[in-house]
Amino acid sequence: MGEKAKIAVTPAIQVGGSLFTPEQLATMAKIVGEDAVIEMTPFKQLYLEIPLERREVIVEELQRSGLEVYPAGFVTKSLIVCNFCKGAEEAGLETAKGINKAIAGIETPTPVKVGYAGCALGTSEPLLKDIGVVKMRDSFDIYVGGEAKGLKASLAKLLVSGLSEAQLVPVITNVIDFYKRNAKGKEVFSKFIERITLDQLKKIALG
């Protein structure tokens, strides 16, 4: 048995949510083999264990089938999105794709979940994510510090509101970078937010 690598696999961000095609499922099944397991994670990602020496070839094969591949482990996860029920343009599908491209796979002290909702219905539960983005008509609000796990689950707090689309990626990456620089060991993001003040984080976020 050779060395194994774990990768995270998701379908592309699209109207309708996390949709796999039969071809994509068949491709994954062929790659991992009959004796392997595919893990569904809380991040809306599937974890696959693959031979390390074939990683590059396998990633290319998955991408050809329309799947997206990300690192597993202590990184910013791929964007967890809503179903864009108000339509791609109104709900900001391209905006969500831009955020995902900028943040997915950044190494962090612990896994960081970023959620996106195209309207105030918030079907992707952005207020239960470490960082949540909510589109409000023509602007965006960002929330931080949501925690879905445990008996002390809590909602994220509003960090900044009324952002333009152009401000989103800089603000989110500023927050992630500040967390990376100032977390104590493997301090989870929600605990980090409790330890610092929102006013301090807002100043960092807005640069």
CATH code assigned to 80-205? 3.30.413.10
pTM value? 0.94
pLDDT at residue 204 tops 90? yes
List pLDDT tens digits, range 140-177.
Answer: 999 999 999 888 889 999 999 999 999 999 999 999 99
For the purposes of burial, counting CB atoms within 10 Å of the CB of 159, is it exposed (0-12), middle (13-18) or buried (19 or more)?
buried
pLDDT at residue 1 tops 80? no
Topology given in CATH for the domain delimited by 4-71: Alpha-Beta Plaits (3.30.70)
> Would you give the distance in Å from CA 71 to the centre of its chain?
12
Give the whole-angstrom CA distance, residue 78 versus residue 101. Answer: 8
List pLDDT tens digits, range 53-74.
Answer: 999 999 999 999 999 999 999 9
Give the whole-angstrom CA distance, residue 176 versus residue 114. Answer: 10
pLDDT band at 124 (very low <50, low <70, confident <90, very high): very high
Q: Would you give the end-to-end CA distance of the chain in angstroms? A: 49
- The domains of the chain are located at 4-71, 80-205
- C-alpha neighbours within 13 Å on the C-beta side of residue 141: 15
Give the whole-angstrom CA distance, residue 18 versus residue 106. Answer: 21
